[in-house]
Structure 1
Amino acid sequence: MTREQDLGGIIAALTRLEVALRDRIQAVIQQSEVDVVRVAEVGIERAAADRGGVDDLAHGEAARRRISKRARRLEDRGPAAERPWVAPVEAALHRSSLPPRVRAHPSRSKLSYKCLIVEDAAIAGSVRQCSDRAPPWPSPSKGAPMKAWILDAVHTPLRLADAEVPQPGPGQVAIKVRATGLCHSDVGYMEGVIPFSTDLPLILGHEAAGTISALGEGVSGWQIGDPVVGAIHSTDAPGVTHDGAYAEYILVTASLLVKLPEGIDWGQAAAATDAGVTSYTGVVVHGQVKAGDRVGIIGLGGLGMTGARIAVLKGATVYGVEPKESSWDAAREQGVTEVFKDVSELEGMDLDVIVDFAGFGTTTTGALKAVKSGGRVSQVGLGKTEFTFNSYELIAKAITLQGSTPQGKPEHLQEVIDMVASGDLVIRAEELGFDEIPDGLARLARGEVVGRLYATLPE
């Protein structure tokens, strides 16, 4: 498509948008006899048309001014009703001649909109509510570029490059990434310690939170603009089985989605998808921790500290093991009753459950000695891939030694999100910029990170 055709299409679409909005406003007035109808800014943001400074969207700006002028006239009709009701402009557009998405080259222009606001409680049933956050409409067209950190081969650094924006297939959604968590497993992939489930090159990053930007065929129950996270499944995970979240957009299977509550922090939501769910799975799903249990948590790093807090929230009395005394005060703030420096100090306590977030062999054998007869040891950490333990202890005490990894169930992620949204669970995490992802992974590799890292991306 030529530059003139591209700009012509944008101008035509903006003109149709003006007509659709005018018709929608008139229809609402006629149907409901409301006192006030306001148009919450139909914004047209220009992004440097070209070096010559040509105003490619002059016609579009004029359209915006005419819509705003009409809205002001409508506002002068009288006072607002007691309760505002908000209907997405998108609903009107779907009934007009305007296509569901206006394709605009991101290097030239960006069309955005917020909402048509109808301030009349009487017509609540005839309009759809939405937040004052503008949905990310339009979504990028097929072939449009996005920034991504790409791993070409193991033992090589990530490469920042333009990549094609992924388009959702049947049963999928595309997500505009707002925050992406950095995980030590990505270091394992880069160093060749953890095997890949797909071919390289690959965009890493499996912890993502963002807004739905496009819907694939057959997807229902979700709308463009919904804030979401996705459950991570071993056979279906961004950054593991397909391109991931060290990029501006990712694909997620719709059946794995969990909607985020209003106001939740993007970084906390991203960390919840893996750090939160991994800890939850080790403590609740496989550890089966319940109120009244006496629980040992071995390793109070990012996962262990989160796991300790979840156990406290479940009503357990929690004892921690962490050689770094600098973490002890933070553990007590999370509700941990007592912290020990070595797992051997738990021996003889006959704990109901021990969750080993370290997994160095000695920690697991120590857990077998410290847990009660008929107790459980939930193994989350993978400090060593092979180790030996005293099978007599396991058998004689009838201990259940359970390996633990997330199962990709949205209901597990939902419970963690609920804990975060309530303020009961705060995942210790540090924010980075998108361009700092390689440096953050290097810090993880050197063991310099306390808690978790996540990178934020602009809206």
Structure 2
Amino acid sequence: MAIPATMKAIVVEEFGKPMVLKNVPVPSPGYGQVLVKVITSGVCHTDLHVRDGDWHVKPTLPIIPGHEGAGVVVKLGEGVTTLKIGDRVGHAWLHDSCGGCDYCLSGWETVCGDQHQTGFAANGCFAEYTVAEANYVGRIPDNVSFAQASPLLCAGVTTYKALKETEAKAGQWVAILGACGGLGHVGCQYAQVMGLKVCAIDFGEDKRCYALDGLKCDAYVDVKGKSSQEVVEAVKAACDGVGPHGSIILAPKPEAFRQGLDMLRPMGFAVGVSLPPGEFPVDIFTLILQRKTLRGSIVGTRKDLNESLILAAGGKITCTVEERKMEDINQIFDDMVHGKIKGRCVLRIAPDP
């Protein structure tokens, strides 16, 4: 496959300003790396934070965002023996880690203190080509399309891992706060594949049919017009009258964290995923006396990533995808800010090979 000297890429040149679509040099893979021709790339809310630079840590500009790049390997760097030209791979959030600390050695590279992130600390996938570490890519099964694979590289593995972190078992209840969004709609499906009963929580009665009929959830709670206490009571009523065994907090609001903890039955696990600014109060008495657990979950390990892709190959995970062009990126972000996106926007960067 002929590799050009330059490529189209979406670049953040200044925080808070529109991103620029421009021609830049095609990168070359170094030792242990591969060059991937990007076919599709999902657009995540994290990419919006990269553009705005509104986290306490900021990327070094200029940067190419994107961490849901699905494509094919077109060039091998020196020392790569685990991949070959033509392999279907996904370039996800975890770009690399140190590989030698206690966390990496025990399969928890996602909390390594010396890791790098795709599209944040290293150039990402909003481009025609991207460089990935060979040991950190996901393997996309042949029967999963690139457009469907892209959201799984972040939204999929993140919710799959969070479900595992609830420690809920088949037949038990999980509540998903933000169930109809880009992450939530995939999480609802993974939960069902895992044999869990799902209480979907979102904003607006217009999402009830999507949650119950489209996503096949077992219950739906509309938070619109309800106080936090009313949301908690409604979820408890839907989940055997005592609450879910686990909750996943995807809604980017501090009050959702308190709700996710309060709605649990005794010995339940609340798993935080979203990253809103601020704090929230914890009812210490209930936390202790009912032996509840609150924990965070960040994306997933390489093993989680490949497990989530393999599960999708079974045909039971379908992402709600809207394909858009690279030229649309600034409009996509505007739609994202105003809550106009259903499911996941995916940039179509090249035709399927």
TM-score by length of 2: 0.85
Larger-gyration structure (1/2): 1
For 1:198 and 1:371, the matched residues in 2 are separated by 37
Query: Which of 365, 372, 375 matches 2:268?
Result: 375
Partner of 1:338: 219
Q: Which runs of 4+ in 1 moved over 6 A?
A: none
Query: Which of 129, 147, 172 matches 2:8?
Result: 147
Partner of 1:162: 23
Retained in 1: the 8 A contact 2:67–2:91? no
Alignment of 1:230 onto 2:91 = yes
Retained in 1: the 8 A contact 2:82–2:134? no
Partner of 1:199: 60
Partner of 1:178: 39
Q: Secondary structure at the match of 1:176?
A: strand
Alignment of 1:221 onto 2:85 = no
> What CA deviation, in whole Å up to 9, does each residue of 1:191-244 have, x standing for no partner?
221255541011111110001011111000211111111342262332111111
Partner of 2:97: none
For 2:141 and 2:294, the matched residues in 1 are separated by 36
Partner of 1:402: 295
Amino acid in structure 2 at the alignment position of 1:152: E
Query: Which of 50, 68, 76 matches 1:189?
Result: 50
Amino acid in structure 1 at the alignment position of 2:173: R
For 1:236 and 1:358, the matched residues in 2 are separated by 25
Q: Secondary structure at the match of 2:195?
A: coil
Q: Secondary structure at the match of 2:268?
A: strand
Partner of 1:386: 279
Query: Which of 102, 127, 134 matches 1:247?
Result: 127
Amino acid in structure 2 at the alignment position of 1:394: L
For 1:353 and 1:365, the matched residues in 2 are separated by 13
Query: Which of 321, 326, 331 matches 1:439?
Result: 331
Amino acid in structure 2 at the alignment position of 1:281: K
Retained in 1: the 8 A contact 2:188–2:217? yes
How far apart are residue 296 of structure 1 and its match?
1.3
Partner of 1:304: 184
> What CA deviation, in whole Å up to 9, does each residue of 1:362-402 have, x standing for no partner?
22222222212111111112344322232222122111101
Retained in 2: the 8 A contact 1:238–1:250? no
Matches within 5 A, 1:39-54: none
Partner of 1:88: none
Partner of 1:7: none
How far apart are residue 423 of structure 1 and its match?
1.5
For 1:322 and 1:396, the matched residues in 2 are separated by 29
> What CA deviation, in whole Å up to 9, does each residue of 1:394-413 have, x standing for no partner?
12211110111113x22211
Q: Which runs of 5+ in 1 are unaligned?
A: 1-136
Partner of 2:72: 211
Q: Secondary structure at the match of 1:371?
A: coil
For 2:92 and 2:47, the matched residues in 1 are separated by 17
Q: Which runs of 5+ in 2 are unaligned?
A: 95-109, 224-230
Q: Secondary structure at the match of 2:280?
A: coil
Partner of 1:450: 342
Retained in 2: the 8 A contact 1:149–1:204? yes
> What CA deviation, in whole Å up to 9, does each residue of 1:333-386 have, x standing for no partner?
322111011332124523211111114232222222221211111111234432
Alignment of 1:316 onto 2:209 = no
Retained in 2: the 8 A contact 1:268–1:420? no
Aligned length: 318
Q: 1:221 to 1:189 in 2, by over 3 A?
A: closer
How far apart are residue 254 of structure 1 and its match?
0.4
For 2:203 and 2:17, the matched residues in 1 are separated by 33
For 1:335 and 1:313, the matched residues in 2 are separated by 11
Amino acid in structure 1 at the alignment position of 2:184: G
Retained in 2: the 8 A contact 1:292–1:316? yes
Alignment of 1:328 onto 2:221 = no
Q: Secondary structure at the match of 2:38?
A: strand
Amino acid in structure 1 at the alignment position of 2:235: L
Retained in 2: the 8 A contact 1:289–1:311? no
**Aligned residues: percent identity?**
30
Larger relative contact order (Cα-Cα within 8 Å, sequence gap ≥ 6): 2
Q: 1:311 to 1:388 in 2, by over 3 A?
A: same
Partner of 1:421: 313
Amino acid in structure 1 at the alignment position of 2:338: R
TM-score by length of 1: 0.66
Q: CA RMSD in A?
A: 1.7
Retained in 1: the 8 A contact 2:91–2:125? no
For 1:251 and 1:385, the matched residues in 2 are separated by 35
Partner of 1:281: 161
Partner of 2:100: none
Amino acid in structure 2 at the alignment position of 1:317: K
